[in-house]
Amino acid sequence: MTQHMTFKTLVFTLLSVFLSSCWMQGPRTLHAPVFSEKGETHIGGYINPSEGFELQADYAFSDHLFALADFSGFSRKVPNESFRKTARAVSGGLGYYSTMGEFGRFSLYSGFTYGSVGNVPRIQNFSRRAFFLPYIGTNLGFASKKFESILSLRYSGNYFYTSQNSLSDKWNAIEPVVTLRLGGNKMKFHTQLGLSYPLVNTGQPVFISSLGLTYRFMALNK
């Protein structure tokens, strides 16, 4: 009974934090795979306040190397205006992973995100604007058949351009994050919560948060 109430309290708390941050602009979900062998694949579908929805994929193509990719997009009504703000982005990268005993997991990765933002219907003299986000990150985690917990730290660059493709804004950020997954051996409920802290005096920290499902399977036969 006590464990059941503790789990319900945890879920309620995470949902409350997630919903309370839904109007904050922030980074997208960090990749946090817990690979143990070649051929392992993680597929995830998430919702988050900054990008609406995300599809993630991580694939261990060798005994210690993996590839990552994701796609995200959102469409949101701008208060007191007749248009919607939209965005879409793709990301790709490579990483290294290893195990530490039976349950310990470690990974290090690097990649970049490319995307654009715009309005629907398009406002006069406003076209879609591009952004470019290179990053490097590391994960340290625990993984069992029913439960996974991962501590992550990512360093990201943020470059935003005008509709004439000239640089309009840039900053770097440190992003510590906690990811929890609970469920069966293959399918697990996913939640992630953290903070993006810009390394500029005028920047304001924003939440990183997401909810969804992660599915694990073997892409190769042993």
Say if residue 219's pLDDT is above 90.
Answer: no
Cα gap 12→102, rounded to integer Å: 31
Say if residue 136's pLDDT is above 70.
Answer: yes
| Terminal Cα distance for the chain, rounded | 41
The count of structural domains within the chain is 1
Cα gap 222→220, rounded to integer Å: 6
Task: Single out the residue of 169, 221, 179, 176 nearest to residue 200, CA to CA.
Answer: 169
Task: Single out the residue of 110, 100, 109 nearest to residue 141, CA to CA.
Answer: 100
Say if residue 108's pLDDT is above 70.
Answer: yes
User: What domain range includes position 157?
Assistant: 34-218
pLDDT band at 24 (very low <50, low <70, confident <90, very high): very low
For 186, list phi and psi in degrees, rounded to 5: -105, -50
Cα gap 177→28, rounded to integer Å: 11
The whole-number pLDDT of residue 128 equals 74
CATH of the domain at 71: 2.40.128.90
The whole-number pLDDT of residue 27 equals 58
Say if residue 8's pLDDT is above 80.
Answer: no
In a domain, 160, yes or no: yes
In a domain, 118, yes or no: yes
Query: Over the stretch 163-174, which tens digit does the pLDDT of each residue have?
Result: 778 888 889 999
In a domain, 10, yes or no: no
Average the pLDDT over each of 55-69, 98-112, 162-176 and give the range with the smallest value: 162-176
Say if residue 5's pLDDT is above 70.
Answer: no
In a domain, 15, yes or no: no
Cα gap 23→84, rounded to integer Å: 14
Average the pLDDT over each of 49-53, 148-152, 160-164 and give the range with the smallest value: 49-53
